[in-house]
């Protein structure tokens, strides 16, 4: 659900040599492309009889770290 954004300080890169006790912040941002498929089915019942030909499946994609609901 997240992707790398930047380092702080900005001149730090992966593999850099840093001073003892230096604090390096690695920033991440929400990855809007990280999605998972969520679906549900609406069943139609008439007078206690399932009308399966009228059932409808609803499918959509939501953010992977969000609520798995539509």
- The CA-based angle 28-31-32, given to 5 degrees, is 150
pLDDT per position as a tens digit, 20-52? 999 999 999 999 999 999 999 999 999 999 999
Q: Are 23 and 44 members of one domain?
A: no
Note whether 42 and 60 are same-domain residues: yes
Mean pLDDT value across the chain:
95
Claim to verify: residue 12 and residue 40 sit in the same structural domain: no
Instruction: Residue 58: give the domain boundaries.
Output: 35-70
Residues 45 and 24 in one domain: no
Question: Would you state the pLDDT for residue 40?
Answer: 97
Q: Based on the domain organization, do 47 and 17 belong to the same domain?
A: no
pTM of the model: 0.65
Q: Is the predicted pLDDT of residue 16 greater than 90, yes or no?
A: no
Which residues are registered as beta bridge partners of 63?
35
3-state secondary structure string across the chain: CEEEEEEECCCCCCCCCCCCCCCCEEEEEECCCCEEEEEEEECCEECCEECHHHCEEEEEEEECCCCCCC
On whether both 20 and 42 belong to a single domain, the answer is no
pLDDT at residue 57 is higher than 90: yes
pLDDT of residue 15: 87
């Amino acid at each position: 659900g997240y992707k790398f954004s930047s380092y702080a300080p900005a001149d730090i890169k992966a593999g850099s040599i840093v001073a003892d006790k230096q604090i390096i912040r690695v920033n991440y941002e929400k990855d809007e492309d990280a999605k998972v498929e969520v679906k549900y089915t609406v069943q139609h019942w008439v007078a206690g009889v399932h009308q399966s030909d009228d059932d409808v499946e609803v499918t959509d994609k939501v953010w992977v770290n969000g609520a798995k609901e539509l």
